[in-house]
Structure 1
Amino acid sequence: MPKPKKPPRWYFSLRSPYSWFAYLDLTERYPDVADGMDWIPFWEPDAVTQRMLDEADVELPIVAMSRAKNFYILQDLSRISKARSLKMTVPIDKDPNWEVSHLAYLAAQEEGHGRRFIELTYRARWQEGRDITRPETMGEIAVELGLPAERLANASDDPGLRKRGLDCLVQSYQDGLFGVPFFIYGREKFWGADRLTPFVAAFRGQPLEEVEKGWQHHDELPRFSAPGGDTGHAGGCG
């Protein structure tokens, strides 16, 4: 497969449990792929960022999640976490501002700690039950990273980071994102945690069967399962 003109990339959300599952597999199973692509955050914008998106004539594909789907995802997360022997919490997000954590990621990235920030933030949200929409939580993670607490706690107040965040969301729109995790290799797009192996195959130029040899014990994500991804806002479990 020819090398794409644009770098391979994946869109992740710190809100999304399916992005967390994909993150675990990327970093633990396919570190060469994780190291060879762009990491781009995606989130539901607050009122300030939404005005900026409106001015740019960008409409993100964010839809309200039905009650039935919300309950389904709770069951799905229970199945997947048990199959992977993960102790998982599912927090309830009340009026969350996702700029707080996602712009904090961009700040940590500028300091050379982007990947470690993601690790700590996913752990805080999905295993420790901490509220990653609170600036105080971002300050605590900053200290763990050896950074001044205010560097991450106040990230959403930084105009420069706001502009970088806007650029990420505009790029997601231009790339045709409609849910996370979302992987792109050239013109090929892959949505969902269970589409990671086809993406890895495209990235490496390997037959899919070779990539899947070490995947089959993940029975909770069979090759032709329904996509393990998020297509909209789901409160505490999307």
Structure 2
Amino acid sequence: MARRGPRWYFSLRSPYSWLAYRDLLDRYPDVAEEIDWLPFWEPDAATTQELAGRDITLPYVAMSREKHLYMLQDVRRLVQERGLAMAWPVDQEPVWEVSHLAYLVAEGLGRGRAFIDAAYRARWEQGKDISDPEVMAAIGRELGIDPGALAGAHTDPALRAEGIRRLELLHRDGVFGVPYFIDGFERFWGVDRLAAFAASVRSGRTGAAESLVPSLDQGHAGGCG
């Protein structure tokens, strides 16, 4: 299998993924343009059953109360450090296919980045429920995309099949949480690893450019070893 390029797995659900998204665009815009953007989400019951039929179990574990309380404090600190405004959403009965399959619609229209921006803004800056199809419809109207196509994405059999393919992909990549960054054999997990990932991508780019320059050393293949 050919080596795949640098990539990151994001989730519209995760506050850490939202923060990584902001940092990626604000601090490493060149890297953002170079890498692949791939969605991660916790599947609903029907998708989970389909994956199980393919012998795939995603490594998602429900969050404990203690971890949730810690995350509230941690995210608040990270948001304050960045000078961001945040409205913590309340998820009553989240179905993450609603937003992430809607993303696939926007991606197919070349509006994936614009959708991610709008969805993150709706969830983390306006406190909206992105599992509500009406919120997806509103994003569609904002972006000039058919509102019904976004609102109904989670009920479209073809999109659900593509969603399963995407989840198989992250399973093969061994992704266990977000944000998750991959560059060759190097893996980085967490918003605090973004800088190292960006450095790795930039280093690889420089190395590739340097490899095009003919070497003046025409000696033996072992070099100085």
TM-score normalised according to structure 1 size: 0.83
Report the equivalent of 1:218: none
Deviation per CA, 1:73-103: give whole Å up to 9, x if none: 0011111111111111111211210000000
CA contact (8 A) 2:90 2:127 kept: no
SS in 2 for 1:11: strand
Partner residue of 2:159 out of 144, 158, 161: 161
Query: By how many angstroms is 1:201 displaced?
Result: 0.9
Query: By how many angstroms is 1:62 displaced?
Result: 0.5
Paired residues for 1:84-233 under 5 Å: 84-205=82-203
Query: By how many angstroms is 1:47 displaced?
Result: 1.3
Report the equivalent of 1:231: none
Q: Percent identity between the aligned chains?
A: 55
Query: By how many angstroms is 1:65 displaced?
Result: 1.0
SS in 2 for 1:92: coil
**Separation in 1 of the partners of 2:43 and 2:199?**
33
Paired residues for 1:44-59 under 5 Å: 44-59=42-57
**Separation in 2 of the partners of 1:55 and 1:201?**
39
Query: By how many angstroms is 1:113 displaced?
Result: 0.6
SS in 1 for 2:171: helix
- Structure number, greater radius of gyration: 2
**Separation in 1 of the partners of 2:138 and 2:161?**
24
**Separation in 1 of the partners of 2:72 and 2:151?**
30
Query: By how many angstroms is 1:26 displaced?
Result: 1.0
SS in 1 for 2:126: coil
Structure 1's unaligned 5+ residue stretches are 207-238
More helix by share: 2
Query: By how many angstroms is 1:181 displaced?
Result: 0.3
* Higher relative contact order (CA closer than 8 Å, sequence separation 6+): 1
**Separation in 1 of the partners of 2:159 and 2:30?**
28
SS in 2 for 1:78: helix
Structure 2's unaligned 5+ residue stretches are 205-225
**Separation in 2 of the partners of 1:10 and 1:123?**
19
Deviation per CA, 1:106-164: give whole Å up to 9, x if none: 00001111000000000000010111000000000000010111010000111111111
TM-score normalised according to structure 2 size: 0.88
Confirm or deny that 1:6 pairs with 2:4: yes
Partner residue of 2:30 out of 29, 32, 43: 32
Number of residues paired by the alignment? Answer: 203
**Separation in 2 of the partners of 1:164 and 1:198?**
31
**Separation in 1 of the partners of 2:92 and 2:104?**
23
**Separation in 2 of the partners of 1:78 and 1:6?**
35
Query: By how many angstroms is 1:37 displaced?
Result: 1.2
SS in 2 for 1:40: strand
**Separation in 1 of the partners of 2:34 and 2:85?**
29
Give the partner amino acid of 2:156. D
SS in 1 for 2:75: helix
Report the equivalent of 1:63: 61
Query: By how many angstroms is 1:56 displaced?
Result: 1.1
